[in-house]
Amino acid sequence: MKNLSEIVKELKGQDSYREMSEKTKISHNYLRNLVNGYDPRTKAPIQPSVDTLKKLSKAYMYSYTKLLEAAGYIDELEKIELPIDDFTETAKRIAALREEKDLSLSEVAEQLQLDEATYSKIEDAKIEPTGMILKKIASLYFVSTDYLLGLTDSKNWHSQIEGSDFVKSFEESPSAQRFVSELTESNIKDLEKLEQLWRVMHEK
């Protein structure tokens, strides 16, 4: 199992500490200490608070439970207040989106490759989904993860680019319009493949 320093380093990626600080609302000096695993003044191991782990989880859509485990809180899970209150709004939005599409619990669970009982607990805010599951849910309903997390009330991701040159170029291209039409009928697996292809192109 990866330790907390390794996880935080992976989350940081190519971001500078200041960029990471803006995302998480955690000081860049403390984030640097988390990556190093110790306080340079005392040489003592870093023991982040539960609130700090919540901020990392929310900013990077990383499993809060895994962060708790890596930070050494796992044996005290029953004593810790899991972020159910924080997740209640997300659970409500996920349930509402399913109902708007007139889908059953089993149908959505199958799309997400989860068993129905597990997915039902997500809608009931009894368990917190991983970042990957949140991304799959967002793809299924064509909304942003920010909307699911309650960071914006703008349901449709395309509202973020409305009126941009990118959108105008699509509006003027019949082939692009056909692509978008086919895209809306794609399943989650196809969308994941498209995302992987985009990442490869972006890396180059």
| CATH assignment of the domain containing 36 | 1.10.260
Nearest to 3 by CA among 45, 61, 58: 45
Please say which residue of 34, 53, 79 terminates a domain: 79
Please say which residue of 79, 112, 131 terminates a domain: 79
CA distance 108 to 112: 6
Find out whether 59 and 24 touch, Cβ atoms under 8 Å: yes
Tell me the HSE value of 147 on the side-chain side, using a 13 A CA sphere.
20
Q: Do 171 and 155 lie in a common domain?
A: no
Two tokens at 190? 């196809």
What pTM does this model have?
0.44
Q: Do 93 and 65 lie in a common domain?
A: no
Higher pLDDT: 202 or 24? It is 24
Higher pLDDT: 10 or 58? It is 10
61 sits in which H/E element: none
Find out whether 125 and 118 touch, Cβ atoms under 8 Å: no
Q: Do 151 and 178 lie in a common domain?
A: no
Rg (CA), the chain: 19
Two tokens at 4? 């907390």
Q: Do 42 and 70 lie in a common domain?
A: yes
Q: Do 108 and 131 lie in a common domain?
A: yes
CATH number at residue 143: 1.10.260.40
Find out whether 3 and 70 touch, Cβ atoms under 8 Å: yes
Q: Do 129 and 180 lie in a common domain?
A: no
* Overall domain count for the chain: 3
Q: Do 44 and 25 lie in a common domain?
A: yes
pLDDT tens-place string over residues 41-83: 888 888 888 888 888 988 887 777 778 788 887 554 343 444 4
Q: Do 33 and 56 lie in a common domain?
A: yes
Find out whether 113 and 139 touch, Cβ atoms under 8 Å: no
Q: Do 71 and 89 lie in a common domain?
A: no
Mean pLDDT of the chain: 79
CB atoms within 10 A of CB 109: 18
Q: Do 107 and 54 lie in a common domain?
A: no
Q: Do 88 and 63 lie in a common domain?
A: no
Crossing angle between the packed helical segments 131-141 and 188-203, to the nearest 10 degrees:
110
Q: Do 177 and 192 lie in a common domain?
A: yes
Q: Where are the alpha helices (DSSP H) in the chain?
A: 4-12, 17-24, 28-36, 50-60, 64-70, 84-100, 105-111, 116-123, 131-141, 145-148, 165-171, 174-183, 188-203
Which range marks the domain in which residue 193 is found? Answer: 161-203
pLDDT tens-place string over residues 146-200: 788 777 787 765 555 555 565 566 666 777 667 666 766 666 667 667 777 766 7
CA distance 7 to 71: 10
Site of tokens 């907390």 = 4
Please say which residue of 23, 50, 79 terminates a domain: 79
